[in-house]
Structure 1
Amino acid sequence: MTDRFATTSPSLSGPAFSGFPVVPSDTVPLPETTRALYVGTGGDVSVLFASGASVTLKAIPGGTLLPIRASRVAATGTTAADIVGLV
């Protein structure tokens, strides 16, 4: 299959290059800082941003793409599920 973007460097304004399942934890950081989070099943998402700020995003609908740079998704305060980290 042809990939016309194979030689293009990833950027924050372009599409995600990879992803991983997110396991919320109050202590374990994500394997990589995200460029976005996909929330499969709606609810609250408690995140630690790359800046060090933390916030709980309330009532996120399922199927939402959150364009945020997160270094951790906390278990405490997170009720959403099926979260995927996009990089």
Structure 2
Amino acid sequence: MNPFANRTGSLSGPATDALPITPDDTTDLSHVALGLYVETGGTISIDTVEGATRSLTVADFSILPVGVRRVRATGTTASGIHALVLA
């Protein structure tokens, strides 16, 4: 049984998928992320949904609850990054 089958996705609800990310300096994500999951910590350079570029240091297995439209290759040392999305 799928508890999400008859529900509309909500920004206040859980993500419906986790998409692997290859950091890129020029290309936005295929879906705007509700947040990011990072397997191996380090620095992550992101463009937020508001258009700001931020550089953040995260630990292994971090969840970053911020809207993200791009993860930049330049400045990103973290790996195993996944976009939490409403697909």
TM-score normalised to the size of structure 1?
Answer: 0.92
Any unmatched runs of 5+ in structure 2?
none
Number of aligned pairs?
A: 85
Counterpart of 1:65? Answer: 63
Deviation of the 1:35 alpha carbon: 0.3
Q: Distance in 1 between matches of 2:84 and 2:32?
A: 9
Which structure 1 residue ranges, 4+ long, deviate > 3 Å from structure 2?
none
Structure 1 unaligned residues grouped into runs of 5+: none
Q: Distance in 2 between matches of 1:62 and 1:50?
A: 24
Deviation at 1:10, TM superposition (A): 1.0
* Alignment root-mean-square deviation, CA: 0.9
1:26-52 deviations in Å (ceiling 9; x for gaps): 111111110010000000110000110
Deviations 1:43-86 (A, max 9, x none): 0110000110111012x001011111101000111100000001
1:50 aligns with 2:49: yes
